[in-house]
Structure 1
Amino acid sequence: MLIAYWIVAGLLALAFVLAGSMKAARPKEALATSGMTWVEDCNPGSIKLIGAAEVIGGIGLILPVALDVAPILSPIAAIALAALMVGAVVTHARRKESCTPSLVLGILSVVVAVLGFLVIR
C-alpha cells in the first residue's frame, strides 16, 4: 500500500505543484491566452489564491508522510484538493468546457486520501 501511495501521491503532487505555480506566477491575461479561458470569470487575486492552494496541497501530499511529522495531514490535503477539483468541475461545466482533467485529478485526490488513511493507520 505504501508503494501505491507514493506513486500516486507523487505524480499527483507534481501535477498540482506545476499547475498551481503556473497560476500563481503568470498574469491573468497570459493564462487566458494559453487556453485557460475560465480565468475570465475570476479576478487576479482569486487565481493566485487557487494557484497557492494547489501548490500547498501538492506539498501537503508528500511532506508530512515523508518527514513522519503529523502524517494525517497528507490525506487531509488530498481531501482539500478533491474539494478544490469539485469547484473546478463545476466552473468548467458551467462554462460548457471540458471538465475531464479536473474530474480525473479530483478522483485521484480521493484515491490518495483513501490510500493515505490506510497507510498511516
Structure 2
Amino acid sequence: MASKLPQLQTKLAQASQYAAKHGGAWYKQLVERNKQYIQEPPTIEKCQTLANELFYTRLASIPGRYESFLKELDYVKHLFRNRQELKVENAGIGALFALECLAWFYGGEIVGRGFTFTGYHV
C-alpha cells in the first residue's frame, strides 16, 4: 500500500493541474449550455424558494405514487391468485426482473466494499 502512495500522489497532481487548466472553460461552457435553467436573480432566497418548491412538490406527489404502488400490488396479488392462467412470457419477465434486482444488489454490495470480492483491502 505504501508503494502505491507516490503513484497516487502523482495522479492526483496531474488531475489537479488538468482541473486548474481546463476547469474554468468547462464551467463557463456548462453554464452557457444550461442558461435556460438558471433563475434570476441568483440569490440565497431564490435558492431557498426553489428548494422548498421541490420538497413540497415531491411531498404532494406521495399520494399518487402510493396509489400506483397499490395498483401494482393488486396486480401481483391477482397473478398469484390465478397462477393457473399465468403465461410463460409473464413468468419469464418476472424471473428476469428478480434476477436483475439480485444483480443490482450484489453489484451494490461489491461497490460498497470498495470493489473487492473478499471484503478486505489488500
TM-score band, normalised by shorter chain: under 0.3
Structure exhibiting the larger radius of gyration computed from Cα positions: 2
- Greater RCO (Cα-Cα under 8 Å, separation 6 or more): 1
Q: Taking structure 2 as the reference length, what is the TM-score of the superposition? A: 0.26
